[in-house]
Amino acid sequence: MECILYGIYLVTLVQCLRALLWSDSNHAFKSRNTVNWPMLVVTLLLCTFATLDVAFGLRHNLVAFVYYTGQGGATAEFENISYWVNVMKAVCYGFQTLIGDAMLIYRCYLVYGRNWKIIIPSFMIWLASFSCGVVVIITFSTLDTSALLNVSQAEPYVDSLLGTTLGVNFITTSLIVYRIWSVDRQTASMAASTSSHRGSHLKHVIRIVVESA
């Protein structure tokens, strides 16, 4: 299933890179000055960690079903959290989550005219998410027992990581949607003749933001 989703991701990645690097008006690659470098760097980082995650998963399957000959079979191998492949998969997941959330906060920062006060709550939750991610990785790498991912030692930190990630996405996405909606209303009240076109365009943007959160 992960490989299927990764294949779908590669299709969207190509479209994303095309939008970032190719100019339809000039029918050529964009110049360095016109490339959105923060978005490009984030895109490449997410691609790198997603690819590593799939590669580590393949490695783990080969070890569990082909090379492992100890007691318990493949199940025992998969339950060994401290195995370096499991630790690296946790690292990849953590970095993907933190980078994605950071970019969402950055988008909110831009939407509000680079007003850093708006993103303080989201940034504080992001720092908490970062701390939980570090603790989860340390916990996974130091466990000496074989158990599933919801063992008592790691469960509180995993739950906290998921909770803070959801919190960042909900708060930041809500702020972005509210900003776009408020601008749409202001535009409609100021220019009734153009509100229909402008409003429909901004509502389409709202749908895209919500779906991508």
Question: DSSP assignment of 94-141, as one string?
Answer: HHHHHHHHHHHHHHHHHHTTS-TTTTHHHHHHHHHHHHHHHHHHHHHH
- Among candidate residues 78, 113, 132, the one where a domain is terminated: 78
Do 134 and 156 fall into the same domain? yes
Do 50 and 150 fall into the same domain? no
Quote the crossing angle between the two packed helices 84-111 and 120-142, to the nearest 10°: 180
Do 11 and 85 fall into the same domain? no
Rounded to an integer, the average pLDDT of 152-167 is 86
Using a pLDDT cut of 70, give the percent of the chain over it. Answer: 84
Kindly give the residue spans of alpha helices, DSSP state H, lying in the chain: 2-21, 37-62, 73-78, 84-111, 120-142, 155-190, 195-212
204, two tokens: 């389409």
Do 88 and 68 fall into the same domain? no
What is the reported pTM?
A: 0.82
Q: Is the pLDDT of residue 23 over 80?
A: yes
- Among candidate residues 29, 55, 78, the one where a domain is terminated: 78
Do 54 and 105 fall into the same domain? no
Domain that residue 200 falls in: 81-213
Reported confidence tier of residue 186, pLDDT bands at 50, 70, 90: confident
pLDDT at residue 55 in the model: 94
Do 102 and 202 fall into the same domain? yes
Reported confidence tier of residue 183, pLDDT bands at 50, 70, 90: confident
Do 114 and 209 fall into the same domain? yes
Do 38 and 134 fall into the same domain? no
* Residue 171 or residue 199, greater confidence: 171
Do 23 and 91 fall into the same domain? no
Single-letter amino acid code for the residue at 10 = L
- Give the chain's domain count: 2
- Among candidate residues 17, 46, 78, the one where a domain is terminated: 78
Using a pLDDT cut of 90, give the percent of the chain over it. Answer: 50
Do 173 and 157 fall into the same domain? yes
Do 127 and 113 fall into the same domain? yes
Do 47 and 120 fall into the same domain? no
Q: Are 122 and 98 in contact (CB under 8 A)?
A: no
